[in-house]
A and B are shown apart, each in its own frame.
Chain A
Amino acid sequence: EAQVTQNPRYLITVTGKKLTVTCSQNMNHEYMSWYRQDPGLGLRQIYYSMNVEVTDKGDVPEGYKVSRKEKRNFPLILESPSPNQTSLYFCASRDSTDGYEQYFGPGTRLTVT
């Protein structure tokens, strides 16, 4: 089954404790992206990657890092989480030649206390 998976689905952590949210897709997509969803703001892009070892900032990259060492994986790293990073996070992927439809993972709900 074609899908984007994220782990963990739920995470409660404390300020300053480094964490990683994993994202994996099995569709051989070149493009992957991270979004955060906040009430009243819709989804905003954090980072994206056009291919292995190619990443770039989205609209709200502050406080986040990403890496793309393999085509299927695109982890999101919060090196020193803060309460304003409490949010619902979505990973997405798409084929670079398949228009602009993106396929989304199930989401990771992060709470930073």
Chain B
Amino acid sequence: GNSVTQMEGPVTLSEEAFLTINCTYTATGYPSLFWYVQYPGEGLQLLLKATKADDKGSNKGFEATYRKETTSFHLEKGSVQVSDSAVYFCALSERGAQKLVFGQGTRLTINP
């Protein structure tokens, strides 16, 4: 079946550091890929998405590129801020499927 694996957390960085959160997936077809962010006490918000190979999703300084050859969708940001502290979820959805398949989440803490 389909699955998503994220790098283990928690991740702690200093402000202005470079961020990478790794995400790899297993899918039988050609899924759409997503990064969701969950701020403390809130629901999940879509951060960015990519629907086909080599697409790059971007939002709020975050980027992720759909790499079919390595089945990866790593999240990156060049300079993190304290306000980026949250839990980040990688997810996929296959065409015709009726659900999102989530990774286990990565808790990110940014220190001033």
Contact = CB atoms under 8 A, between A and B. Distances in A.
Interface residues of B, number: 21
Say whether chain A's binding surface is mostly helix, strand, loop, or mixed: strand
Given A31-B98, A48-B98, A58-B99, A42 B104 contact: yes
Given A105-B43, A107-B43, A100 B89 contact: no
The size class of the interface chain A forms with chain B is 20 to 34
Contacts of B44: 43, 90, 92, 104
A105 B105 CA distance: 18
B28 to A, nearest CB: 16
Interface in A5-40: 31, 33, 35, 40
A42 B102 contact: yes
Nearest to A101: B46
A100 B100 contact: yes
A106 B43 contact: yes
B77 interface: no
Given A42-B103, A100-B32, A50 B46 contact: no
Contacts of A44: 102
Given A40-B104, A41-B104, A99-B32, A48 B99 contact: yes
Interface of B: 4, 32, 34, 36, 41-46, 49, 51, 89, 93, 98-100, 102-105
